[in-house]
Structure 1
């Protein structure tokens, strides 16, 4: 880089990327909104697919549509309640993460309203790092799992005392990304309690 470019770079302030500005602007606009609305807006802005389900029947129907549209053949799922959903719609699943799994159907710990991120622990993904999960992740959660921010989520996890391997995920279309795969699709089925 030439000396002239280095000097200009020091003098002229660097603009932050448009996506980062948009996420920050959206988060600022939503700071007084209800946590569930704020989470849904930030989650979808970041590339997630948000599906509100009034009851388990609606969740089952939505799950079936996702599996058909995404042409999912084999699902990683170790949660007993979620396995029942997959059995009803006749989808093959494995309780252990396999290379041939093209989706994961899991629960989560918390949904963080201030960032649109989803907190996972070993309760949700066993001992696997989130980076090993398939490109399509379907998450079942309830409205009561929405928390204001990471601090509130951490306090609740600390009170439970049984969670290990904390991580959070998002689709990463904004600057909130930690997933290593940029093409990850996250589908959230949010059930009313």
Structure 2
């Protein structure tokens, strides 16, 4: 206890606050973090690779950098959204051929901040389960897709696809292989995932 406190004392409320600050890990995120920072922190904690982009030119540039980093040029890609085909064509990548795909390239439904996961539906995955997709993934998302929780994401899906509600709704949360499986990871598969996040707010 400091000399100042000996003379003037402190309230029990202040002491409780000090104790909480002492016991809190410096790596624990502040619960008052903005939703985008909360997602970024949790996503990286899960092993995801995050690339922030301010415009579509940066998306194209960073997409090419990922290809170069992993030597994925001239490979086959699993991709079902024709809005993304231009990036594949520009880099001379084939897609949806009979050859085994090197990576999966897609949009997503939402980004879940409180657990750092990515929410998909049949609009992106078709009928495939996560363990049936390539281990390598590149996901293109926007900052407006970040929601606080999974239930918020499901509500967003319901309002977005009101007439044609998708099936096969799932999240992918683990982005690096765990050395020892525990009950939290049971039944899940890890993905080597890059997130290209476009600022649109």
> Structure 1 length as normaliser, TM-score?
0.78
Matching residue of 1:138: 138
Instruction: Determine which of 83, 86, 97 is the counterpart of 1:84.
Output: 86
Q: Deviations over 1:130-163 (max 9, x none)?
A: 1111010000001100001111111112223322
Matched, 1:185 2:192: yes
Give the Cα separation in 2 of the matches to 1:27 and 1:169: 23
Change (3 A) 1:172 1:140: closer
- The unaligned stretches of length 5 or more in structure 1 are 1-24
Alignment match, 1:58: 58
- Whether contact under 8 Å (2:103, 2:135) holds in the other structure is yes
Q: Is the 8 A contact 1:49 1:188 kept in 2?
A: yes
**Conserved 8 A contact 1:120-1:168:** yes
Relative to structure 1, the CA distance from residue 178 to residue 70 in structure 2 (aligned partners, 3 Å threshold; closer, same or farther) is farther
Structure-1 residue corresponding to 2:29:
29
Which residue matches 1:75? 77
2:174 corresponds to which of 160, 165, 171:
171
User: How far apart are the structure 2 equivalents of 1:178 and 1:169?
Assistant: 13
With normalisation by structure 2, the TM-score equals 0.75
Q: Distance in 2 between the 1:141 and 1:87 partners?
A: 20
Where does residue 149 of structure 1 map in the other structure?
149
The residue that corresponds to 2:48 in the other structure is: 48
Partner of 2:8: none
Distance in 2, matches of 1:33 and 1:26, equals 14
Q: 1:81 offset after TM fit, Å? A: 0.9
Q: Is the 8 A contact 2:29 2:41 kept in 1?
A: no
SS of 2:138's partner is strand
Gaps of 5+ in 2: 1-24
Task: Give the stretch that moved more between structures: 100-109 or 160-169.
Answer: 160-169
Where 1:108 maps in the other structure, the secondary structure is: coil
